[in-house]
Amino acid sequence: MRKYSYVSSQGRLVELQEANDAIAFLWITTISEKHVQDKTQYKESFSALVGLLTAINGMADVITDLKEEHQRYSSVVLYRSLIEHFLKSTYITVKAGSERSDQVGFDYNWYCRYTEALQYGKGIKESLELTHKVKSKMNIKRIAREYFDYMEGVSERKIDKLTSSFSYKNIIRYISSHKSGIVGKDSPLFSDMIKIYPSLSSYVHGGVSAVSDMNFKSFDDKNYLHDIPESSLLLCMFSKASMLSLLGLESKNISEVGKKASEIFLSVAED
């Protein structure tokens, strides 16, 4: 495969937006079919991916709008979040497809939900202790266990192991070892994204290097940040085409739709 093109031009952006719209049409018409929702063996993964991909699509649209408004700092903040959504969706798609199992979707929907609630509860407890200067006696873990009754009998060690597989580093390791080509360690799309991801943290958290970019006009010197709208649309397209390919494992008709979506993606991703 030839190297992906990241030429920053209005014509290029329009080309990618049109391709994304075409893939989005194929994706929405497919997942909206009730028989697809009812018959798929990947029900948990289906639910997780619809949520993640809807978010990715929305962020990609906003990022392209922000380019028109010259709001590049905001687009970088959103792009970091888009990457995280993209990695989780890709991990679910690759793992579900390679294992022919819906377990990864279940783990994401249920175990990660419990872990997030636990972290949220701990955050509230710490905030109350900081603001009221009183040590809280709330047992967050016990409360979470009672609320999420399906966790009964599941050890914290198992939960930690399952949810840690969705961490940034573990997803990168998994994708790198299970996939090549369009997404994998040898893919320009994947490797370029991973290279810049750490530097984006400063923009999300108000770091001095990100703020300095604005104050000292050094943003223009960072060419790799100029291609964010284009790469956002590419990641968005790939995510939808990948989900269609996963569903295509169960249906010849959807498989053909997935192939068409992949062809559209490749037609604009290559030089």
Identify the pLDDT of residue 187.
Answer: 72
DSSP assignment of 169-226, as one string? HHHHHHHHHH--TTSSTT-HHHHHHHHHHHHHHHHHTT-HHHHHHHHTT-GGG-GGGT
Provide the pLDDT confidence category of residue 233 given band limits of 50, 70 and 90: very high
97: Cβ–Cβ under 8 A, 6 or more apart, which residues? Answer: 245, 246, 249
Mean pLDDT score across all residues of the chain: 85
Hey, how many other C-beta atoms are within 10 angstroms of the C-beta on 117? 15
**pLDDT tens per residue, range 199-231:** 899 889 888 888 777 655 555 555 556 688 999
Q: Where are the beta strands (DSSP E) in 32-116?
A: none
What is the C-alpha separation between 63 and 239, in angstroms, rounded?
A: 17
Answer left, alpha or beta for residue 10, where phi above 0 means left and psi between -120 and 50 means alpha: alpha
Tens digits of residue pLDDT in 138-195: 777 777 777 787 777 888 888 888 899 999 999 998 988 875 555 655 677 788 888 8
Q: What is the mean pLDDT of residues 73-93?
A: 94
Residues 243-268 have a mean pLDDT of 94
Over residues 64-92, mean pLDDT: 90
**Rounded distance between C-alpha atoms, residue 215 and residue 97, angstroms:** 46
Residue 69 pLDDT more than 60?
Answer: yes
Predicted confidence at residue 17, as pLDDT, reads 95
Place of tokens 């284009």: 230
Alpha carbon 181 to its chain centroid, in Å, reads 19
CB atoms within 10 A of CB 238: 26
CA 192 to chain centre: 16
How far is it, in rounded angstroms, from Cα 75 to Cα 63? 5
